[in-house]
Structure 1
Amino acid sequence: MFISNAYAQSGPMASGDFSGLFIFIPMIVLMYFLMVRPQMKRQKEQKSMMEALAKNDEVITAGGVLGKVTKVTDAYVTLEIANGTEVVVQKIAVTMLLPKGTIKAI
C-alpha cells in the first residue's frame, strides 16, 4: 500500500560488458612495479650484505648501535661497541654496513 516493490536492476557485468574488469589489470601491474618489486630488491640486497659480513666490518644495528664485528656465526654477530665491551646480536638486526674507518672511538 505505502511501500512500493523493489526490483533488481541489471549491472554492467550482467550484460556481458567486461570493460570495467580491464581497469584492474593495469592496477595490479602498477602495484607490482611500485611495491612488490622494490621490496624484493631490498630483501636481496640485505641478504647479500648479511652473507658478506666479516671480521672488522663496521655496522649499524636496527636499534642504532654502531660497532665493529669481532665474530660471525650462522645466526649471530658479536659487535665491539666500546673498548672491551661486546654485544651479541642477530644477523637480521644488522641494517647497514659502514665504510672502513667510520667508527674511530673503538
Structure 2
Amino acid sequence: MFQYLAADGGQGATNIWQLIWPFLLMFAVFYFLLIRPQQKKQKQRTAMLNQIKKGDKITTIGGLHGTVMELNDDTVVIRVNDTTKMTFERSAVNTIISSAPSASEQ
C-alpha cells in the first residue's frame, strides 16, 4: 500500500487542488458580484436611516409620503397631512426626499 502511494509521484495532492480550485474561483466571483455590493448597499441604508432628522420629507417602503415630526431610537412619527400623524418603524423609511435645514445652516 505504501509503495503505491509513493509510486504515483505526488499526484494525489495535485488532484485535490484541481478539485478545490473551481470552488475557490466560484466563491470569489460570488463575493465580488453578490456579497460585497449587498454589504455596501446595507451600509448606505444604515447611514441614511441614522441621518433622518425632524423636518425631513420621507417616503416609506409602502409609498406613504410625509414629514418627520418625532424621532426615537426605533420609531419615526410622520405627519401625512395637517391632522394625521402616523408612527412607523425607522426601518420602514425608504428614502429621504428632501432634508430639513440643520441648525447650523439656518
Alignment TM-score > 0.5, same fold: yes
TM-score, L = length of structure 2 = 0.76
- The aligned residue for residue 39 of structure 2 is 40
Matches for 1:1-106 after TM superposition, within 5 Å: 16=12, 17-18=15-16, 19-99=18-98
4+ residue runs of structure 1 moved beyond 6 angstroms? none
Identical positions, percent: 29
**1:87 alignment partner AA:** M
Unpaired segments ≥5 residues, structure 2:
1-10, 101-106
Unpaired segments ≥5 residues, structure 1:
1-14, 102-106
Q: Distance in 2 between matches of 1:40 and 1:21?
A: 26
More helix by percentage: 2
- The aligned residue for residue 104 of structure 1 is none
Moved more, 72-81 or 16-25: 16-25
Q: Helix, strand or coil: the match of 2:47?
A: helix
Give 1:51 deviation, angstroms: 0.9
Q: Distance in 2 between matches of 1:97 and 1:28?
A: 35
Q: Distance in 2 between matches of 1:27 and 1:75?
A: 39
TM-score, L = length of structure 1 = 0.76
Give 1:99 deviation, angstroms: 2.5
The Cα RMSD (Å) is 1.6
